[in-house]
Amino acid sequence: MAKKSKIFKKQLVLQLFVLSGIMYLLIFSYIPMFGLLMAFKDYDITTGVGGIFTSPWVGLQHFKEFVNMLNFGQLVKNTVAISVLKLVFAFPLPIIFAIMLSEMRAVKYKRIVQTCSYLPHFISWVVVSGISFRFLSSAGIINTILTQFGLTSEAIPFLNSANYFWGLAVSLDIWKGMGWWTIVFLAAIVGVSHDLYEAAALDGAGRMRRIWHITLPSILPTIVIVLILALGNLFGGGLSGSNFEQSFLLGNSMNASTAEIIPTYVFRVGLSLGRFDYATAVGLIQSVISLILIFSSNFIAKKISGTSLF
């Protein structure tokens, strides 16, 4: 016991860091879970926090209302489609880019490219939406160039047409998030032993063979973990969790048929209409599906590759 106490005192600063993280989870993640009771009750905000416990039970009424509503299928379709498109197009690019950077021999140029690539990650989606408006609106820079040079007879409604929203969302997500995820995969590549590359080079393996047989298998655990997290967030925000911000900031009445997703619907119904009980029920459905997807993808990944998140 005295030995453990001595170790604890020696690691006091580190233990305080851990304790602060645990307190954060308790205050902002676990204690608010009592609010899930609203999903099964007819909650009235005028009754205050205590109304969560005193409001009458309605069972699964809010869940049934959401499933049976008119645009339920469209909401699910938009939510899944945007996340899947990001998974297909945005997930492989950071891996490829990280491998390309790791193969660069010009260190100075490599650092410049890497820095420029991850800087957009630190720009908020509010600013990104403003930039998008300046470039892609009917009177924006891109449409002005296209019409000035006679490439199009009229402005292309990038921001106002439902046909362009999914492509716009994926493109902006790649631009903003690719550099950040590249750092994750580049860190995994740096951890690969150089002895393996030297041995493969002595055996006559070229650059592509070394990438295929050494680099990719070595970073496979990192790829699998990121993929599991992305699949778990399929109903929430895709790889970077940005679906809500994009749909909320870039969505409007003209592209709502493809821009409206479950998170924005929950926000609109919960805050704008004040239906906190119904919004809680919809959010709970989304969370349960995400939990199932995480466990399922983790199980499948463990069976196929032997690598898993837990």
Residue 37 CB neighbour total at 10 angstroms: 15
Average pLDDT estimate for 141-165: 90
- CATH number belonging to domain 69-305: 1.10.3720.10
Predicted pLDDT of residue 167: 92
pLDDT at 250: 92
Q: Given this model, what pLDDT does residue 240 score?
A: 56
Decide: residue 262, CB within 10 A, 0-12 exposed, 13-18 middle, 19+ buried: buried
**Using one digit for the tens of pLDDT, what is the confidence trace for 239-289?**
555 788 889 999 988 999 999 999 899 988 888 888 899 999 998 988 888
Q: What is the pLDDT of residues 22-43, one digit of tens each?
A: 999 999 888 888 888 999 999 8
Q: For residue 235, what pLDDT band results from cuts at 50, 70 and 90?
A: confident
Confidence (pTM): 0.85
CA–CA distance, 278 with 274 (Å, rounded to integer): 9
Tell me which residue has tokens 């002895």: 195
Q: Mean pLDDT across the stretch 9-25?
A: 88
Q: Residue 166: is its pLDDT beyond 90?
A: yes
pLDDT (mean) for 40-60: 85
- Is 80 exceeded by the pLDDT of residue 305? no
Query: What would the DSSP string read from start to end of 75-114?
Result: HHHHHHHHHHHHHHHHTHHHHHHHHHHHH---HHHHHHHH
Per-residue confidence (pLDDT) for residue 239, from 0 to 100: 55
105 vs 133, higher pLDDT: 133
